[in-house]
């Protein structure tokens, strides 16, 4: 409490030199002069005294031939006096607060979430036309009105929500689930890949293939061209006249199909171990501009791991500013080789090849057979395999007759 009082009223740190130092202290104490932290060294006395006691102590020192030197001035009165002499120190923080407040009143970045088929650029353009853009004053935004505008401009949206957090606007979009209408035009079902037919179920159209038949990509499996007859009657007899009509072919065709994939795996793998050496590069990102706050050095390591730490600078009440501190750390690593058993590497290559095939086939496809073949390579530290997979899956693609053509052999 006493230290706080001394700070508020201000105090001096004095050095007193002379032959009658003890006498000076005794007179000062007897007169009630406020002194504390009295220390003696070979050059005299060092002590603290309040601003109002300093005058009394100065008068006493003159009467007994002692010299007073001011070593320091401390406390609030002296601090304010220094501020008055250096007005920029007072104006600077105030100006900084004003600038921060102004900057935090604008939108500095916009993030779009939830879009899959709608281009982000299209959303940002529509938002800009509605009044939401980088650099706009936050208080000028009518969020509900902008949401309605985006719903109108973007046909594929089922819902739009906008949220402002600090200086960043978040646009959340839920897209409509659009089920494409079935093409009503007459069509064939054609093979979309090579295969051997295992099952044919015709629901509409004319069957052109049978079980066990080999087909190539593009062959017509079920035709949308149908032939029937109409009856015409004359005076003597009835006639059957052939007639051709077009329908939309429908059906289920399954076939045995083959997929091929190649994959490889190394016999030597490397693990990384940090050496303890590192290089840090710091910078500030203001808007979209990156400013390196120190001289950018070349990374002196042959092998390294890179980590980036981004800290958005916030102010009062978590107001986000368009400023980010970025610290990039490069850690030197040693690459330690590890010998892999050939059987293990071969198994890894087989699994990689199988995963490649699984990405090409549908979930409903049934794998019938897998055949692996190891391929010799010129690299002694590499294992390579070829995989041939036989699957049974649906085979067929609907193509309008007008696009496929009508030249059929029955």
Instruction: With residue 102 as reference, give the H or E element that holds it.
Output: helix 87-103
CA dihedral sign of residues 115, 121, 127, 130: negative
Main-chain phi, psi angles of 128, to 5 degrees: -65, -40
Residue 22 confidence class, pLDDT cut points 50, 70, 90 = confident
* CATH topology match: 2-81 vs 109-175: no
Q: How many Å apart are CA 1 and CA 6, to the nearest integer?
A: 9
More confident residue, 108 or 369: 369
Burial 189-217 (b: 16+ CB within 10 A, else e): bbbbbebbbbebebeebbebbeeeeebee
pLDDT score at 162: 94
pLDDT at residue 48, rounded to an integer = 92
> CB neighbours (10 Å) of residue 277?
12
Report the distance separating Cα 249 and Cα 188, nearest Å: 5
CATH node for 109-175:
3.10.20.310
CA distance 16 to 71: 10
Give the angle subtended at the CA of 93 by the CAs of 89 and 94, to the nearest 5°: 110
Name the band, by pLDDT with cuts 50, 70 and 90, for residue 409: very low
**How many of the other CB atoms lie within 10 Å of CB of 223?**
24
Q: How confident is the model at residue 255 (pLDDT cuts 50, 70, 90)?
A: very high
Tens-digit pLDDT profile for residues 65-86: 888 889 898 888 887 777 676 6
- What lies within 8 Å, CB to CB, of 17 at 6+ separation is 43, 44, 66, 67, 69
- What does the alpha-carbon distance between residue 352 and residue 387 come to, in Å, rounded to a whole number? 10
Query: What is the strand order of the sheet 220-223 is part of?
Result: 206-207, 220-223, 187-190, 397-400
Handedness of CA 68, 74, 76, 82 (dihedral sign): positive
Taking the model in full, what pTM does it have?
A: 0.53
**Tokens representing residue 9 in the block:** 């009223």
Which residue, 195, 206, 309, is CA-closest to 249?
206
Q: Measure the CA–CA gap between 125 and 128, rounded to whole angstroms.
A: 5
Q: Please give the backbone phi and psi of residue 149, each rounded to the nearest 5 degrees, phi first.
A: -65, -40
Can you tell me the distance from the alpha carbon of 253 to that of 256, in angstroms, rounded to the nearest whole number?
A: 10
CA torsion sign, 329 to 330 to 331 to 336?
A: positive
pLDDT in tens, 12-21: 999 988 888 8
**Which tokens is 217 given?**
């990509």
Question: Domain 2-81 - what CATH class?
Answer: alpha beta
Domain residue extents for the chain: 2-81, 109-175, 187-253, 259-267+340-394, 272-334
Residue 211 confidence class, pLDDT cut points 50, 70, 90: very high
**pLDDT the model gives residue 316:** 53
pLDDT of residue 4: 72
Half-sphere CA count of 59, side-chain side, radius 13 A: 8
Mean pLDDT, the chain, whole residue set: 85
pLDDT for residue 292 is more than 70: no
Reduced to 3 states (helix: H, G, I; strand: E, B; else coil), residue 362 is: coil
What is the number of residues in the chain? 410
């Amino acid at each position: 409490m006493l230290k706080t009082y001394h700070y508020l009223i201000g105090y001096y740190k004095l050095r007193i030199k002379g032959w009658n130092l003890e006498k000076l202290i005794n007179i000062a104490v007897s007169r009630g002069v406020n002194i504390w932290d009295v220390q003696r060294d070979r050059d005299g006395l060092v002590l603290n005294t309040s601003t109002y006691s300093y005058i009394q102590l100065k008068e006493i020192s003159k009467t007994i031939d002692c010299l007073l030197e001011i070593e320091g001035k401390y406390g609030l009165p002296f601090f304010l006096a220094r501020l008055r002499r250096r007005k920029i120190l007072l104006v600077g923080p105030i100006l900084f607060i004003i600038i921060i407040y102004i900057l935090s009143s604008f939108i500095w970045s916009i993030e779009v979430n939830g879009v899959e088929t709608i281009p982000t650029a299209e959303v940002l353009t529509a938002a800009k036309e509605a009044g939401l853009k980088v650099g706009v004053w936050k208080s000028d935004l009518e969020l509900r009105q902008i949401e309605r505008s985006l719903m109108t401009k973007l046909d594929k949206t089922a819902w739009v929500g906008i949220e402002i957090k600090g200086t960043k606007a978040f646009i959340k979009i839920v897209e409509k689930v659009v089920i494409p209408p079935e093409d009503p035009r007459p069509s064939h079902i054609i093979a979309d890949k090579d295969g051997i037919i295992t099952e044919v179920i015709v629901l509409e159209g004319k069957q052109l293939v049978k079980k066990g038949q080999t087909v190539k990509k593009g062959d017509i499996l079920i035709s949308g061209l149908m032939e029937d007859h109409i009856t015409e009657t004359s005076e003597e007899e009835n006639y059957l006249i052939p007639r051709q009509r077009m329908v939309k072919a429908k059906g289920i065709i399954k076939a045995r199909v083959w997929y091929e994939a190649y994959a490889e795996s190394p016999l030597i793998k490397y693990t990384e171990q940090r050496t303890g050496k590192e290089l840090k590069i710091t910078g500030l990102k203001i808007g979209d501009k990156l400013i390196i706050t120190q001289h950018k050095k070349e990374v002196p390591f042959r092998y390294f791991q890179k980590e980036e730490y981004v800290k958005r600078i916030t102010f009062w009440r978590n107001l986000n500013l368009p400023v980010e501190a970025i610290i990039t750390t490069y850690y030197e690593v040693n690459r330690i080789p590890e010998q892999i058993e050939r059987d293990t590497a071969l198994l890894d290559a087989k699994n990689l090849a199988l995963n490649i095939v699984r990405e090409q086939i549908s979930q409903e496809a049934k794998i019938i057979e897998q055949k692996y073949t190891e391929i010799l390579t010129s690299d002694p530290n590499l294992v390579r395999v070829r995989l041939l997979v036989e699957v049974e899956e649906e085979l067929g693609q609907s193509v309008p007759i007008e696009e496929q053509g009508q030249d059929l052999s029955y």
